[in-house]
Structure 1
Amino acid sequence: MATQSTTSTPGATSASGTASTPSVAESLALITDEVRDVIATLVARNDSALDAAAVRLRSADRVFVLGAGRSGLALRMTAMRLMHLGLDVHVVGDVTTPAITAGDVLLVASGSGTTGAIVRAADTAASVGAEIVAVTTAPRSRLAELADVTIVVPAAQKTDHDGNISAQYSGALFEQVVTLLGDALFHSLWQQSGASADELWPRHANLE
């Protein structure tokens, strides 16, 4: 027998007076709406910073990426795409990652802008003359102070659990935007390069 589906509004109250549980489709709609709203605000407030970040990445001798947790996973996806573009890219922490030097760019993401390992890495990068592109929710953080380019994502930090900025759990909105931002930087750089998808494809991993 087929299962009959019902729809409800997230946060709505049922006839019994208890809060209803949103369906997966409703949760997807909520996430999509939150991401759309944050990106619209991000672009309005950071348009010049977005282009400046792309310029730094394009002109860098090498690009180093670093993030913790889910933000780090998002930046690893960005690293892969920048490699496909032909950039010399390294993920901080990999055993083959060399020393960062002047002429390089460190691309980092930290919602709070205070993550210890990331701030220490930014300090090191700054001390040797490398440039720093930071993605954060905290424009007055230590990470933002160190950065040459700061992209401010107007999303909740992972410790904000009151639901006022995002109904999602523990920084998920920030991490989703970091993923899309990385793809947007890649796409812009790719289009500027004039290379076709077929020209990028030979760099795709073949040891799978």
Structure 2
Amino acid sequence: MKTALALIAAENATAVRALTAEGSTALDDAAAQIRDAERVFLLGAGRSGIALQFTAMRLMHLGLTVHVVGEVTAPAIGEGDVLVVASGSGSTTGIVRAAQTAVDVQAGVVAITADASSELAKLATVTILVEAARKLDRDSTVSVQYAGGLFEQTVVTIGDALFHSLWQQSGLSADDLWPRHSNLE
């Protein structure tokens, strides 16, 4: 168990170092897109979608207007909004279709993907490139974790980093955010 934990931590550290390489502005650009948007929509499939739900909750705590795509209360996206999507392959049909819809209505698109040449990356206003295996990469050259494990873990880390950066910029305290925490638990 200790070996597995150390391996996962090391892979995550490597992925984070790649995200913060000198000259990379994708994370800052994504934070600015989210900060300046009228509304933020988040969409991912499977575990990537669950990872983005973590981010949706934190952005709501910050006071942003946030919607998880597919929920019955999510309205139509429009100009001035931003869609944050995650797809390791960058080719997940529903994710690409949603990004195209966002582009069509002149909303921004922040894409988190492991494939810089993917259709999703081409549609994005900002692309956050994650150095991780995609779910169909099974040769262990990028990650020894199963399927898209490293990608999904990195999506959670990116979401928390985006939130933390925006929170620090806001000047709000933890006490300011607390009243937005769920009280229907």
Amino acid at match of 1:129: Q
Shift of 1:50: 0.7
Q: 1:186 aligns with which of 163, 168, 182?
A: 163
Flag as ranges the 4+ runs of structure 1 deviating above 6 A: none
The separation in 1 between residues aligned to 2:97 and 2:88, in whole angstroms, is 15
**Cα separation, partners in 2 of 1:191 and 1:35, compared to 1, 3 Å:** same
Structure 2 residue corresponding to 1:118, chosen from 89, 92, 95: 95
Check if 1:196 corresponds to 2:170: no
**Aligned pairs (5 A) from 1:123-134:** 123-134=100-111
Other structure's SS at 1:47 match: coil
- Output aligned runs, 1:47-86, within 5 Å: 47-86=24-63
How many Å separate the matches in 2 of 1:110 and 1:191?
A: 28
The within-5 A match list for 1:89-100 is: 89-100=66-77
Is there any run of 5+ residues in structure 2 with no aligned partner, and where?
none
TM-score of the pair, normalised by structure 2: 0.98
Separation (CA, whole Å) in 2 of partners of 1:154 and 1:180: 13
Contact 1:137 1:152 in 2 (8 A): yes
**Secondary structure, counterpart of 1:71 in structure 2:** helix
Matched, 1:148 2:117: no
**Superimposed CA distance per residue, residues 157-181 of structure 1 (whole angstroms, 9 cap, x where no aligned partner):** 1101111111100010000000000
**Matched position secondary structure for 1:160:** coil
Higher gyration radius (CA): 1
Q: Residues of 1 paired with 2:95 and 2:106: CA distance?
A: 17
Partner of 2:145: 168
Tell me, what secondary structure is at the counterpart of 1:76? helix
Report the TM-score when normalising by structure 1.
0.88
Q: In 1, Cα distance between the equivalents of 2:36 and 2:23? A: 20
Partners of 2:23 and 2:47 lie apart in 1 by 23
SS class of match (1:139): coil
Alpha-carbon separation, structure 2, partners of 1:161 and 1:46: 31
Q: Aligned AA for 2:7?
A: L
Cα deviation for residue 47 of structure 1 reads 2.7
Code of the aligned partner of 1:138? D
Please give the alpha-carbon distance, in whole angstroms, between the structure 2 residues aligned to 1:46 and 1:91. Answer: 31
| Count of paired positions | 185
Q: CA RMSD in A?
A: 0.8
Amino acid at match of 1:110: S
Gaps of 5+ in 1: 1-23
**Greater RCO between the two (CA within 8 Å, min separation 6)?**
2
